[in-house]
């Protein structure tokens, strides 16, 4: 299988809102698309969301599907980029939290970087798992029943976590590896 088609037929959702870290949105998306995956940006509303780098606004990203129209059965994986404001907004959105919980329950790959593990906490899927994150989330994850580690990437079952934008190359590579290992998409 060539590199450009190793994820052909795979559907990946990226769930984000205003305040998403631009790098954490675009770098995994570009890596997945380079491998042939179909990637959709899902957000609470149609149109565009505002991206940031640190706390500086960097532009916008076009939304492919409104969260209200997202169906967990359509996706092989879910990417949760960080930025401080993005996961903080989304963890108050019942549809976002529900989508995450459903994908984890279905055994799909769910990948969260930086501050995005807040969403995993809100979805109630961290207890008994080993995860990493931006260091300031350590106490939140431990209080929710997870073991926190300081690693570039951490895989626990079908959940992948990573610490920061500097870890994006390893995060994207591990995400692709997990999707390839998950095998061919079953017929709907």
The answer to whether residues 60 and 41 touch, using CB atoms and an 8 Å cutoff, is no
Containing structural domain, residue 62: 3-180
Q: Is residue 187 part of a domain?
A: no
Write the pLDDT tens digit of every residue in 121-152: 999 999 999 999 999 999 999 999 999 999 99
Write the pLDDT tens digit of every residue in 59-105: 999 999 999 999 999 999 999 999 999 999 999 999 999 999 999 99
Q: Is residue 24 part of a domain?
A: yes
Domain count of the fold of the chain:
1
With CA atoms as reference, report the closest residue to 12 among 95, 87, 74, 94.
74
Active site residues: 115
d(CA 128, CA 130): 7
Q: Is residue 35 part of a domain?
A: yes
Q: Is residue 31 part of a domain?
A: yes
> Per residue in 93-106, is it b (16+ CB within 10 Å) or e — as a string?
bebbbebbbbbbee
Q: Quick check: 184 pLDDT over 90?
A: no
Q: Is residue 188 part of a domain?
A: no
- Cβ contacts of 78 within 8 Å, gap of 6 or more: 12, 13, 14, 15, 99, 100, 103, 108, 109, 110, 111
Q: Is residue 151 part of a domain?
A: yes
Mean per-residue pLDDT, 98-121: 98
Q: What is the pLDDT of residue 150?
A: 98
For residue 35, what is the domain's CATH number? 3.40.50.880
Mean per-residue pLDDT, 105-130: 98
Banded pLDDT at 183 (limits 50, 70, 90) = confident
Q: Is residue 185 part of a domain?
A: no
């Amino acid at each position: 299988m060539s590199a450009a088609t190793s994820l052909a037929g795979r559907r990946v959702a990226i769930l984000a809102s205003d305040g998403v870290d631009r790098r954490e949105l675009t770098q995994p998306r570009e890596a997945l698309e380079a491998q042939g995956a179909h990637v959709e940006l899902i957000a609470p509303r149609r149109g565009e969301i505002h991206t940031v780098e640190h706390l500086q606004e960097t532009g916008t990203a076009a939304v492919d599907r409104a969260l209200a129209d997202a169906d967990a059965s359509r996706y092989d994986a879910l990417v949760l980029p960080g930025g401080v404001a993005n996961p903080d907004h989304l963890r108050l959105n019942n549809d976002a939290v529900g989508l995450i919980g459903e994908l984890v329950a279905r055994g799909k790959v769910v990948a969260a970087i930086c501050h995005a593990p807040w969403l995993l906490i809100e979805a109630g899927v961290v207890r008994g798992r080993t995860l990493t994150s931006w260091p300031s989330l350590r106490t939140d994850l431990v209080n929710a029943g997870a073991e926190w580690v300081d690693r570039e990437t951490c895989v626990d079952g079908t959940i992948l976590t990573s610490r920061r934008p500097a870890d994006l190359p390893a995060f994207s590579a591990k995400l692709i590896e997990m999707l390839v290992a998950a095998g061919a998409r079953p017929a709907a």
